[in-house]
Amino acid sequence: MSDCVFCKIAAGEIPGKKLYEDDDILAFHDINPVAPVHVLLIPKKHIASGAADLTEEHSAVIGHIFAVAANIARELDIADGFQIITNNGEKVGQTVAHLHFHLLGGGDFRLKLG
Ligand code: 5GP
Ligand code: ZN
């Protein structure tokens, strides 16, 4: 999508601090980190607007994203404690309407869910 910030990062039209890239997905550092490690993982294909739009057709790319997230967690030394979250909907704070997963961890960071 032409006005989507994550599509632009995927296309190299705007810079992103990339950690991993292949034909299907991209991982890069969040511009406004809320944790010592805050990485975003996205499918390069614009899946709008979020998890509510997923179908079985997306199984392979989502599985791939989680496998790459595990590798990045090991590489960044947070494999013993990390969280992966996705926001779906403005109501819960989603600001970019291109499916993405936040990989969060490091130090004492913990997003408290319960
Ligand atoms: P959301 O709130 O939609 O789940 O998360 C969007 C995330 O994208 C936010 O954490 C925000 O900091 C990040 N973000 C927004 N614009 C950019 C950008 O241009 N570059 C990078 N690296 N991250 C961005
Ligand atoms: Zn997009």
Ligand lying nearest the CA atom of residue 1: 2
What is the C-alpha to C-alpha distance for residues 88 and 3, in angstroms, rounded to an integer? 19
Determine if ligand 1 sits within 6 Å of the CB of residue 94.
yes
Domain positions in the chain are 5-105
**Per-residue pLDDT in tens (0 to 9) along the chain, 114 residues:** 789 999 999 999 999 999 999 999 999 999 999 999 999 999 999 999 999 999 999 999 999 999 999 999 999 999 999 999 999 999 999 999 999 999 999 999 999 998
Determine if ligand 1 sits within 6 Å of the CB of residue 32.
yes
What is the C-alpha to C-alpha distance for residues 79 and 1, in angstroms, rounded to an integer? 33
The fold of the 5-105 domain, in CATH, is HIT family, subunit A (3.30.428)
Q: What pLDDT, on the 0 to 100 scale, is given for residue 34?
A: 98
pTM of this prediction? 0.98
Count of alpha carbons within 13 Å of 18, Cβ hemisphere only? Answer: 15
Three-state SS at 97: coil
Kindly give, in sequence order, each residue whose CB lies less than 8 Å from that of residue 50, ignoring residues fewer than 6 positions away: 86, 87, 88, 89, 94, 97, 99
